[in-house]
Amino acid sequence: MAARIILITSLLALASPRALAFDPSPLQDFCVADYDSKVSVNGFACMNAKDVTVDDFYFTGLDKAASTSNELGANITLVNVERLPGLNTLGVAMSRIDYAPFGLNPPHSHPRSSEILHVAEGMLYAGFVTSNTAQGNLLFAKKLNKGDAFVFPKGLIHFQFNIGDTPAVAFATFGSQSPGLVTTANALFGSKPPIPEYILAQAVQLSKTTVGWLQQQPWLDIAQEYGQPLVQAN
């Protein structure tokens, strides 16, 4: 009888929405990412605890503005598990976003995480678009001032635009150690290999000539998830 109760309880726990975690759940105090491990797991294998140091939990540089000298007028300093090994299995990440006057963090989505944005300096126009509904794809957008916060639900396309004539700064927090990034225009027109022109032309109702031109553009990624952050301003 006791065994049946344990089995039923376990099945109910697995069926509960609260049991559905998208990041690996920690089974110990920490699991510092071992970037050199050849073991394939969901996330990163754990470094030997004897080799862990305080610097595995430390990141510096979020006080410095990143260069916004690019076509979008924005830049992102991302702090995820690929850059801070101590985040492994903890289910969090963050970033600093710098915007030049009228700079844009273009429409994009995070397939593995929701996001909360806090405006530290300046004014932003930020919003997200819902998935398909009977009323269409609904836009929820608002002007944000210094001290404001705004939530972007997981997986939905969202953006931020600096509507001021001075630089702006925001900090974003994610509910995943590796939230993922799909920049809408880059994915459509900059995929490798490219999506066939005739498919995109029909999908976006543009000529194949226009689609071909769009596919030739150097689509910029200002939030590279891997490697070192982009060059910072002095």
Nearest CA-CA partner of 81 in 211, 225, 229, 228: 225
Nearest CA-CA partner of 30 in 165, 177, 130, 207: 177
Quickly count: other Cβ atoms within 10 Å of residue 216's Cβ: 10
> Which stretch of DSSP H or E encloses residue 174?
strand 168-174
Bridge partners, residue 143, by sequence? 125
171 contacts 76 by C-beta, under 8 angstroms: no
Q: Which residues are annotated as a binding site for oxalate?
A: 105, 110, 115
Number of alpha helices (DSSP H) and beta strands (DSSP E) in the chain? 4, 10
Q: Which residues are annotated as a binding site?
A: 105, 108, 110, 115, 158
Quickly count: other Cβ atoms within 10 Å of residue 32's Cβ: 23
Q: Which residues are annotated as a binding site for Mn(2+)?
A: 108, 110, 115, 158
Q: Residue holding tokens 């699991």?
A: 31
Bridge partners, residue 162, by sequence? 124
